Amino acid sequence: MSQAPVIVWFRNDLRLADHPALRAAVEADGPVLAVYVLDEAAAGTWRPGGASRWWLHHSLARLGDSLAAKGCPFVLRRGDTLDIISSLAADVGAETVTGSRAFEPWSRQLEEALNQRLGESGRRLRRFSGTLLHDPDQLLTKSGGPYKVFTPFWRALAATPQREPVKAPPHFKTFEGAVESENLEDWELLPRNPDWAGGLREAWTPGEEAARARLEAFLDEAINDYADKRNLPGQTGTSRLSPHLRFGEISPAQIWQAVQARLARGDARGKGADVFLSEIAWREFSYHLLHHFPSLPVASFREAFEKFPWQDAPDELAAWQRGRTGYPIVDAGMRELWHTGWMHNRVRMIVASFLTKHLLLPWQAGEAWFWDTLVDADLASNAASWQWVAGSGADAAPYFRIFNPVIQGEKFDPDGTYVRKWVPELANLPNAKLHQPWTASASVLKGAGVELGVTYPAPIVDHKQARERALAAYKTIKG
């Protein structure tokens, strides 16, 4: 009698290395059957946005290739997860389904419901870690509650031993039976009419192999300068691992261990590695917050902000989305996002401050736009970070920290590399006026071929007035 296969249910863990759920399935010694279910209804309004769908397509294709190379079929199905997995398990005679724990509220509900459904026929779902460094129920404060402040969380995290990454299984037993699989192309995850993904193709290579290469390149070339250069959007000082992490093409445990290995060898030193790991910890912190406060993506963590007098200004929202606010550093960021599906972190903070403070638009409006346009759109990081900037979040920046887009631009893009790249109509302005074209004289503007309000927008709000309006709005909910 042939052994029963184990089904590995893939979600945001599209890799073979450091995949405890896959490892467990392989070690059961029977054949492995890998499955991905595109369940459009399960996530409700949080179904993946356009940029994420593009990435998902390619990431699934790459994972399918890797599995095929090991002789393992990759079954693609679209529809209701419970029906698909439970009937598949019955069809192939699988007793066990394994998967990585996920933390979106709907994902957790799905895990519970699937486990129950499988249980009705004597089967079970086994859940493994893999997406995070630590289980959110395990890393708690001394009083047993979740951390709500980053610094003590970071200290506790750094002091807790990390899980050792597990290697990719060297070979698989192939499931020999015939299992129907859908065609990835038919899922229409890629944009057509128009195909707007040209910028994404130029900027990114999805997949586990590319993720590993990206990490190695970052560790070889940039990590020691990370503390200084990570804030300069005109340079490649960041790791750009975020979309790979988002889809689980690489795990935080792999990153953590790779950095520690470099530190031990002496290849990495100084503040860079420490600051980089703390960014991985911010991701972790966001996930733990989401786990303990599932309303984080929709409601302000600090309750007072539920009464904040947000504006309803569709024209200003549209100007922000399209990179036409008249503030060059803001517009450069929004255009980088639109073109590449990604934005430098420093600029994310600037554009988010501008939306929530200069325009007084609700952070949820920015969150929704990022969800649709970012290739790294991640429920936990996106929600926590928007709330952080807005001032409504856990351990958030104080509301009165209002970025001055001119100062931020001059400080972090001093030679204008970034703005000139993404706002080319300003490229011929001198550095001194590049971040504040409205203060340039008529002759300087003319010499640079800039006509404000025609070739480039005049500022849609006055900084000083907007700042005062924001502080006044904050006063209405303070205390």
Partner DNA sequence: TGAAATGTTGGGGCG
Partner DNA sequence: ACGCCCCAACATTTC
- Interaction site with DNA (CB under 7 A): 150, 278-279, 282, 349, 397-398, 400-404, 407-408, 411, 463-464, 467, 471, 474-475
Distance CA 377, CA 256 (A): 21
Distance CA 384, CA 393 (A): 7
Tell me, rounded to whole angstroms, the distance of Cα 273 from its chain centroid: 21
The catalytically annotated residue of 345, 404, 425, 438 is: 345
Nearer to DNA, 155 or 446 (CB): 155
Q: Which of 86, 91, 95, 63 is nearest to 76 (CA)?
A: 63
User: 6 near 33, Cβ under 8 Å?
Assistant: yes
Q: Is 187 a catalytic residue?
A: no
Task: Tell me how far CA of residue 297 lies from CA of 30, 45, 117, 321, in angstroms.
Answer: 40, 11, 28, 20
Nearer to DNA, 78 or 475 (CB): 475
The catalytically annotated residue of 9, 55, 320, 363 is: 363
* Token reading at 17: 């290395």
The catalytically annotated residue of 310, 410, 425, 428 is: 310
Which runs of E-coded beta strand occur in 12-128?
32-38, 74-78, 96-100, 124-128
Measured in residues, the chain has a length of 479
What's the closest the beta carbon of residue 401 comes to DNA, in angstroms?
4
What's the closest the beta carbon of residue 474 comes to DNA, in angstroms?
7
Residue with tokens 């708690």: 140
Q: Which residues contact 264 (CB under 8 A, 6 or more apart)?
A: none
What's the closest the beta carbon of residue 334 comes to DNA, in angstroms?
18
How many of the other CB atoms lie within 10 Å of CB of 28? 18
User: 94 near 7, Cβ under 8 Å?
Assistant: yes
Nearer to DNA, 151 or 417 (CB): 151
What's the closest the beta carbon of residue 89 comes to DNA, in angstroms?
43
Nearer to DNA, 266 or 479 (CB): 479
What's the closest the beta carbon of residue 140 comes to DNA, in angstroms?
21
Nearer to DNA, 169 or 333 (CB): 333
Q: Is 386 a catalytic residue?
A: yes
Nearer to DNA, 150 or 247 (CB): 150
Q: Which of 328, 473, 469 is nearest to 407 (CA)?
A: 328
Q: Is 310 a catalytic residue?
A: yes
What's the closest the beta carbon of residue 389 comes to DNA, in angstroms?
8
Q: Which of 312, 313, 386 is nearest to 353 (CA)?
A: 386
Q: Is 282 a catalytic residue?
A: yes
Task: Tell me how far CA of residue 335 lies from CA of 159, 199, 325, 330, 421, in angstroms.
Answer: 40, 11, 11, 9, 10
Nearer to DNA, 204 or 327 (CB): 327
Distance CA 91, CA 5 (A): 11
Phi, psi torsion values for 452, nearest 5 degrees = -60, 135
User: Where does residue 264 fall: left (phi above 0), alpha (psi -120 to 50 degrees), or beta otherwise?
Assistant: alpha
The catalytically annotated residue of 256, 369, 371, 386 is: 386
Task: Tell me how far CA of residue 262 lies from CA of 145, 253, 329, 468, in angstroms.
Answer: 34, 14, 35, 48
The catalytically annotated residue of 154, 187, 282, 438 is: 282
What's the closest the beta carbon of residue 400 comes to DNA, in angstroms?
4
Nearer to DNA, 81 or 408 (CB): 408
The catalytically annotated residue of 95, 182, 209, 279 is: 279
What's the closest the beta carbon of residue 234 comes to DNA, in angstroms?
17
> Which residues are identified as catalytic?
279, 282, 310, 345, 363, 386
